[in-house]
Amino acid sequence: MVEVKLHDIGEGMHEGEVIHFFVKTGDSVKIDQPLVEVQTDKVTAELPSPAAGTIKDIKVKEGDVVTVGSVILTIEAVSTSTAPSSKTEDKVNVEEPVVDKIVKAPSSTTFAGGIATLNKRVLAAPFTRKIARENGVDIEQITGTGAGGRVTDQDVYNFIENGSAPKAEEKIKSEAPKEVNTAPSFTTKNAEEIPFKGRRKQIAKKMVQSLTTIPHVTHFEEIDVTAVMDLKKQLKAMDPDNKRGMNVSVAAFFVKAIQIALKDFPIFNAKLDEENEVIRLEKNVNIGIATDSDEGLIVPVISHVEQRNVRDIAVDMKDKITRAKTNKLKGSDMTGGTFTISNVGPLGSIAATPIINHPEVALMAFHKTKKTPVVVGNEIVIRSMMNVSMSFDHRVADGATAVMFTNRVKELIENPYFMTLELI
């Protein structure tokens, strides 16, 4: 008997929510055939079958939150030659979404929801399948326009808009089992309740861990971003169609400025190992970008910033923020961070005391930019001013060092041409 368990993929992951089963008890499965979709606090991924055989027993139901090491289902392997060793069984995990493969299953095999017969497995990402299920669409009926015939999110939306999907009223009356909502709400007599589990619960645990472990201190500063905004406009005017990739975000300059400042103040690009009583200064600068999404706060990481120019940073940042908001990040996109930034200015924030992304040492938040009169020399001029918040671990660094670090970031942003002197 082969047990399929939820495996610990690290980075603080302790549990996951079962979103959807692709099989039911008695179904025949092949090796690598997707069995169940699970959402952790970081990714939504499919668990593949480690062996060919028959689904013997499903231990949990859709909507359940299971802890690492819990058995989700068991498979009666076809033979000992096809069943994996116990070592393999323990390594079934959800580290990355499995690339779907076209497989032929027995004609009697159907989706757990009873929507359609599973004669083939179309190419589609887990999030795309989630969109289809929530709209009552049989994804097997959609012709994919992506690479290799992959069904894209837009393919599903086009299918719905063309009237091929059932209407909401018909879905409610359908006899098929209802799809489990990953973030359902229900009403009691006195209040509306939202389940506190999944990614929201993991975020809460990490915030409590950070705030109760790290003695936070927050330093505030204001930065004149007029010059860097003017530089952005000049670059865009020189390349209006962005054919040369010169239309970069101001945030990309912020990331580069922090990387250069971290080279001068490596204590903030570090992690405290209390058990071994050492502070480890990280060699690489991997900057996390705190991103708001429908699933909660996600922090994709821009790796090796010290080896990248502003244009490369801008491209990678845009890609990862987009994928974060659509729940398409891989586990590897969110690991290895050494410093985090939060660009909350576009939302209208004036100031905040950010919570550090444990086990990192510091976090810097960029707030709203506002044109305001300031004194330059002996004259009053209008400048674009922005507030920043610098939270740091007072066990590792002192206030004076934090102020000097922030001043270095300020100097680089206010004089963006200084950055060219620091390029590799």
> Which residues carry out catalysis?
394
| Tokens standing for residue 408 | 């270095």
Spatial contact of 386 and 368, defined as CB atoms under 8 Å apart: yes
DSSP state of 83: S
Helix pair 226-238, 399-414: axis angle to 10 deg = 40
| Tokens standing for residue 340 | 């985090």
Q: Rounded to whole angstroms, how far apart are CA atoms 228 and 224?
A: 9
Q: Rounded to whole angstroms, how far apart are CA atoms 233 and 246?
A: 10
Q: Apex CA 11: angle with CA 299 and CA 406, to 5°?
A: 45
Q: Rounded to whole angstroms, how far apart are CA atoms 147 and 163?
A: 25
| Secondary structure class of 390 (helix, strand, coil) | strand
| Secondary structure class of 19 (helix, strand, coil) | strand
Spatial contact of 396 and 267, defined as CB atoms under 8 Å apart: yes
* Residues paired with residue 21 on neighbouring β-strands, in sequence order: 36
Spatial contact of 214 and 395, defined as CB atoms under 8 Å apart: yes
Neighbours of 217 (CB within 10 A): 16
* Residues paired with residue 385 on neighbouring β-strands, in sequence order: 224, 370
